[in-house]
Chains A and B, each alone.
Chain A
Amino acid sequence: MTIALKGEEVARKIAESFAEAVAAVDRSTIVVNAGSLYQVAEFLKNTPGLDFDYLNNLTAVDYLDYLEVVYHLSSLKHNHSLTLKARCYEREKPTVPSVVSLWRAADYQEREVYDLMGIIFSGHPNLKRLFLWEGFPGHPLRRDYL
């Protein structure tokens, strides 16, 4: 079985290196501040014992108060998993750092989130709409898009 790591334990390890990074913890989920997302992701990928080498899934949810980017990470080496989240409280130009340079799996998935949810991934090498055409009005997966 893939073991879902306890959020608290991982958060403690993260806090040793990045004091202000973690915003909230829930079971196997860690919410980090969007600003330190890249550093935390890099830490999770490269720290021995954690070795999150596999980005299963990347998506976003619109909670109206904020937009939440969700990363489902796992490690093929240790067969454990963790959910990482980052929140954007701005709706006009919500920005999150891109993790393509860590996991290329994020390439199309970040483009998809940008296309349908309108979240900008700064540092993405080719941030274009994936399904819809350039010039399409709005981002359909937002809850206020009707």
Chain B
Amino acid sequence: MALKTEPIVLNIGPQHPSTHGVFRMKVTLDGEVVVDVEPVIGYLHRGIEKLAEGRTYTQNIPLTDRLDYLASMTNNLAYVLAVEKLAGIKVPERAEYLRVIMAEMMRISSHLMAVGFFLNDLGAMMTPVLYMWREREKIIDLFEMVCGQRLTYNYMRTGGVSQDIPEEFLPALKRFVAEMPGYIDEYDQLLAENEILLARTKGVGVLSRELAINIAASGPVLRASGVEFDIRRADPYSIYDRFDFDVPAGEAGDCYDRYRVRIQEMKQSVRILGQAIARLPGGEVCAEVPQLLRPPAGEVYGRIEAPKGELGFYLVSDNSIAPYRFHIRPPELINLTALKDMVVGWKVADLIIIFGSLDVCLGEIDR
């Protein structure tokens, strides 16, 4: 006689280390196999969009730091670019280069965390993370030099950046750019052909090309599915059209491709950093912008290629000192749309790594 079985519902999170924040998955299991998953979010909802309607354009910059707090620089950048587009502000050349330098350092830092914690989820407990942390620490030290902060930088301003870089910054950055490719190769050698890693990630959690486009996935998640789409290339903002870099893409759209795309993107970011340092001009770092900015009435949708995907700001101005509407297009929330399609049929242990391979940060999902 067959044993009578029935599915069980298991709550993973909101307090669980593998959910990278306060994220809850209501998982229905048949034995160890995932039958259904329903994400439950909102535990970190602070109402940033509502708060922003009561603050001036400049006062909103620190709010953007608190979205994806592992990539605050690029959040700043996306927001100030949108405001500049709305108000028609021109940015000095030196500030443009500094912005690109900061954004690419942020991308490396964010990808290091993504790769490190992804391997952590895979069971390579803490060792890879600490290696990644070693390099991230150098980036954080550099950020500390320019703005005194280690997590929420608040460095970008409408019209440029808050202050020029100190004397010791460039030598330290050059050292970092010289060393980093070696470290990336080191991780790659340790991990890329590791049999356990391959067995756990190849063919696991496949996101097809069609579905990736249909759910408007972006960033490494979209590119891993074989779509060579990078906003820095397709719709260049700031001065990205002046740099020479490749857009790495995967083929299968599985966890392994998402991991590989991030590793390769770090190498491209180092390339961009090298070019930006070589061409960094002198001059002002911030344009003259009124303290209380009143952009003309209108609306704008500005987007950038943040480390995790297309980060957009939709701003509506009514010619007052505060935005009438302040909407954030969250790449990570939208990348999560296909979570169920990717995990159904896989085991609980795979659910953890598939979710980890999407690289989410709840500060931005909940806002």
* Chain A residues in the interface with B (C-beta under 8 A): 1-2, 53-57, 59, 61-62, 70, 72, 76, 79, 83, 103-105, 107-109, 112, 116, 129-133, 140-141
Q: Which of A2, A56, A70 contacts B216 (CB 8 A)?
A: A56
Q: Which residues of B are found within 8 Å of A112, using beta-carbon distances?
A: 333
Query: B334 near A108 (CB under 8 angstroms)?
Result: yes
The complex places the Cα of A59 from the Cα of B47 at a distance, in Å, of 15
Nearest A residue to B341, CB-CB: A104
CB distance from A81 to the nearest CB of B (A): 8
Name the residue of chain A whose CB is nearest to the CB of B334. Answer: A105
Q: Which one of A55, A62, A76 contacts B227 once the chains associate, using CB atoms below 8 Å?
A: A76
Which A residues are CB-close (under 8 A) to B50? 140-141
User: Which of the 9-residue segments B113-121, B246-254, B259-267, B310-318 touches chain A?
Assistant: B310-318
Known A-B contacts A61-B316, A130-B41, A140-B50; the reply to A2 vs B215 at CB < 8 A is: no
B271 an interface residue at 8 Å Cβ cutoff?
A: no
Q: CA–CA, A116 to B325, complex, Å?
A: 13
Q: Which B187-242 residues have C-beta < 8 A from chain A?
A: 211, 213-216, 227, 229, 234-236
Please indicate the chain A residues that have their CB under 8 angstroms from the CB of B45 in the complex. Answer: 131-132
Nearest chain-A residue to B313 (Cβ)? A57
Tell me if A103 and B216 are in contact (CB < 8 A). yes
Give which listed residue, B49, B312, B366, contacts A57 with CB less than 8 A.
B312
CB of B129 closer than 8 Å to a CB of A: no
Instruction: Check: B329 CB closer than 8 A to any chain A CB.
Output: yes
Residue of A nearest to B49 (CB): A141
Known contacts A140-B47, A140-B50: A56-B312 contact under CB 8 Å = yes
Interface status of B176 (Cβ within 8 A of chain A): no
B173 in the interface, Cβ–Cβ < 8 Å? no
> A79, B213: Cβ atoms under 8 Å?
no
Q: How far, in whole Å, are A105 and B236 apart by their CA atoms in the complex? A: 23
B59 at the interface (CB under 8 A from A): no
CA distance A56 to B329 in the complex (A): 8
Report whether B49 and A104 are in contact in the complex, using a CB–CB cutoff of 8 Å: no
Interface string of B151-190 (1 = CB under 8 A from A): 0000000000000000000000000000000000000000
**B227 adjacent to A131 (CB under 8 Å):** no
Q: Nearest CB to that of B217 among chain A residues?
A: A105
Contact between chains at A1 and B41 (CB < 8 Å): no
